[in-house]
Structure 1
Amino acid sequence: MPILTDRTLAELRASLPETASACVEAIVEEVPGYDRAFDPALRSNIERAVEQALSGFVATQIEGDRATSRATLDGAYRLGQGEAASGRSTDALLAAYRVGARVAWAQFAGSAVAAEEPAANVAALAEKTFAFIDELSAQSLAGHTAALTARTRELARRRDQLTAALVAGEARPALEHLAESARWKAPETLTALVVDGEPRTALATALGERALWSPVADGPTVVLVPGVRSNARNGLLERCVGTPAALGPTVAWTEAGESVRQALRALRFASDDDGADCDELLPELALDSAPLVATRLRERAVAPLEDLSPAKREVLAETLLAWLLHQGRRDEVAGRLHVHPQTVRYRMNTVRELYGDALTDPRRVLELTLGLLVEARTEPTSDAKDER
């Protein structure tokens, strides 16, 4: 049963275009996100949409016609979807509803009071007005959320496609197209971070939204990190302590696939406590890329130690490598090996007897250093550890 007289209802209906226009005007003036200028055609469409919603209110809530209720609510749902597509937030959408409800109620109340409607009718009109706006806003919010969820999933799918293409090393035009499709602003550089295990949540937070995560079912996790500076590399690896991790070289973003490949190779040198940085492992990576050459260098480097026990051979090889890397500075060598400097002196006397002039030949020193780097990659035996 209608809550207002026929004359008041007729006046309300006649004033709907004016009420709709007033609602839109107030929303544009008061709600951030709607304060940009609409072209005349778009504003006219919006005003018609508001007028249809108000007409639905009059029909369903005041006149008691439930036939148009579903259509009105469906329209509110679609409105929410459209607002999401336009990039407006739910806060802006709900604020627009609040402003619109205030203006519409002022217009409705003015008509009811002017028509001398009883106070009970005006109170009932107020209750129904704001209940209807709540119902409409809930439907629009649902539409907005559904649209954002669908868009988020679609963008995530496109980012996965972009990441896979970067890892695979696809051509620049394809990468640029995928980046645009994923709404991902390409940085100047990317650095591959490879983690052999489940990355910590703190790592994802630190890397930010622009980092690209490779959806790998099996094997290490690959993350492409934008704009890594040289002084930030250690910090990235420190965030992965507890899980083997490796950093590839920083390269132009379209060359990210090469960074991934180098990081995967460097992962062999990582441990739970120490990450591997490609920039610090260039000799090792060079040797790793030529296994036959590396084997030959190792064999030549340890040949003078062949007649020693495995434990003694490993201890002297380690000592010689440290001595070469630290250019014979005994205290530094002792610190690296965690032994007394006198122990280094004793061991090096034995080494000199075995290697002779090779320790003063620059070319042989280079070969020895590379060969012993390969030898150092093998795990020391328990006997060698005890002898230290």
Structure 2
Amino acid sequence: MAVKRSEHVGEDVRQVLRIAATRLLRQLPELTEELVARVREGDEAYRRFVTPDDHWQSTEEGLRVGIEAILQRPDERRDLEFARRMAGRRAEQGLPLESLMRMYRLAAQVTWGAFVDLIEREHAELLPALVRTATHVWHAIDRQALMAADIYRRREKELLGRSTERVNALLDELLEGVADTAVARSAAAGLDLPERGRYAVVTMRLAVRHDHDGSRPNGYGTPGVDGRPEVLGPMRLLWRMRAQYEVAVVALGEATLEELAEGMTAVAYGPAGVSPVVGGLVELAAARRLAELAMRTCEGCGPEIARLDRRLPSALVISQPELSGRLVSEVLGALLGLDPTDREVLLATLAAWLRCEGSAARAAGQLYCHRNTVFNRMRRLEQLTGRSLSRPRDIVELALALDATRLLS
């Protein structure tokens, strides 16, 4: 008897679902109107990303296939396929996943409310059986929601990959010098940047290993991912990976190069070069070359920010290696034959004297020696080079030659 009663209850459940589904299909326009109104009223994202016509048509189709699924065998159900298709479309439109899930919750409320109203009005004797269908109805909608969420995340990840590839391609065109006015206009739209504006380029040497996803490891500055924007105060940076260094297009806005250099100090994990300010996207390739030049004036592998406008003599030396090598031979040739220790002492003294703007006392403080020792070393350097520290032109030659020995090696 218990089995027969169970079978009878199961048939009651199926009967009430079939009756309700058949009746609700006739009320589809009203149900669609109610659900669309509730969704759009409480969710700005739907109003922003989904047009009213699109929203109404997709809601009508979703309710119809969901209700019809009750009348079909499990292998004929099309509601899950609809959920899959619609989730991918909403991801492409940019609708947040939270908004999509909220829509499914509201759809469940509207559908179940319509079931209850209809049965109570037309078949009150079936209300006990209807209660037993609640789990079935809500489970069916949950399956649709879970399916939609899974497809949405997959599609979003795929779209994000394509978007990153597009951003990287646009950055490459700008930074490699293939940009013309048309490319700059396309890049401005694709990167959400003004075609004309105050820009700079930063290059940073890769002094540490990067994680597999292209982000900087913890402890080495603010995480920056290839092709993704990074905010630095009022500035916006778009990073791009290279074989030996990273490069960033910097939309300065009203910020100065000083502010950029200060901001980079907080996140730099290796030597970095900062270009001069340029006036638009088409000038970024030239700015990138100047930033690379500035970066090459840095010593060692530790964090150091080099602004080109503060390193012009050193950048000049690097950009003309053949002439710079000749300058070293002509100016410092006599020092090159000295014992390495003796040579390094004289060059270090010259470097300190230049840093201290010709003050022997201050140079002595940096070198931890007596000021007379500095005078003696400088006189010996004058004798070996044939240059006089009282002649400005000779000082320029000595300074450039010193830079060349440091940078070209």
Match among 240, 250, 273 for residue 214 of structure 1: 240
Correspondences of 1:151-230 after superposition (within 5 Å): 151-179=159-187, 182-186=190-194, 188-197=198-207, 198-199=209-210, 200-201=216-217, 202-205=220-223, 208=230, 211-216=237-242, 218-227=243-252, 229-230=257-258
- Secondary structure of residue in 2 paired with 1:193: strand
- CA displacement 1:280-318 (0-9 Å, x = unmatched): 321111012222322232233225647754432332233
| Stretch of structure 1 that moved more, 120-129 or 7-16 | 7-16
Cα separation, partners in 2 of 1:196 and 1:36, compared to 1, 3 Å: closer
Paired residue type of 1:214: R
- CA displacement 1:254-287 (0-9 Å, x = unmatched): 3222333334344443312242514232111101
**Is it true that 1:132 corresponds to 2:137 in the alignment?**
no
**Is it true that 1:348 corresponds to 2:374 in the alignment?**
no
Cα separation, partners in 2 of 1:356 and 1:143, compared to 1, 3 Å: closer
Residues 27 and 100, structure 1, Cα contact 8 Å, conserved in 2: no
Percent same amino acid at aligned positions? 23
2:116 matched residue in structure 1: 109
1:318 matched residue in structure 2: 348
1:22 matched residue in structure 2: 34
Correspondences of 1:91-106 after superposition (within 5 Å): 91-106=98-113
Paired residue type of 2:96: S
Residues 318 and 408, structure 2, Cα contact 8 Å, conserved in 1: no
Q: Distance in 2 between matches of 1:66 and 1:255?
A: 62
Q: Distance in 2 between matches of 1:6 and 1:278?
A: 76
Stretches of structure 1 that go unaligned for 5 or more consecutive residues are 380-388
Residues 79 and 143, structure 1, Cα contact 8 Å, conserved in 2: no
2:369 matched residue in structure 1: 339
Instruction: Please report the TM-score for the alignment, with normalisation by the length of structure 1.
Output: 0.82
Cα separation, partners in 2 of 1:50 and 1:357, compared to 1, 3 Å: closer
Instruction: Please report the TM-score for the alignment, with normalisation by the length of structure 2.
Output: 0.78
- Secondary structure of residue in 2 paired with 1:359: coil
Q: CA RMSD in A?
A: 3.2
Residues 28 and 60, structure 2, Cα contact 8 Å, conserved in 1: no
Q: CA deviation at 1:57?
A: 3.9
Correspondences of 1:212-291 after superposition (within 5 Å): 212-216=238-242, 218-227=243-252, 229-237=257-265, 239-241=267-269, 243-251=270-278, 252-268=280-296, 269-279=298-308, 280-291=310-321
Paired residue type of 1:359: L
| Stretch of structure 1 that moved more, 157-166 or 31-40 | 31-40
Q: Distance in 1 between matches of 2:262 and 2:48?
A: 46
Residues 193 and 245, structure 1, Cα contact 8 Å, conserved in 2: yes
- Secondary structure of residue in 1 paired with 2:16: coil
Q: CA deviation at 1:125?
A: 2.6
Cα separation, partners in 2 of 1:190 and 1:372, compared to 1, 3 Å: closer
**Is it true that 1:81 corresponds to 2:85 in the alignment?**
no
- Secondary structure of residue in 1 paired with 2:167: helix
- CA displacement 1:133-192 (0-9 Å, x = unmatched): 111112222232232122111111111211221231112335325525744435631312
Q: Distance in 2 between matches of 1:212 and 1:97?
A: 37
**Is it true that 1:300 corresponds to 2:330 in the alignment?**
yes
Count of matched residue positions in the alignment of Structure 1 and Structure 2: 372
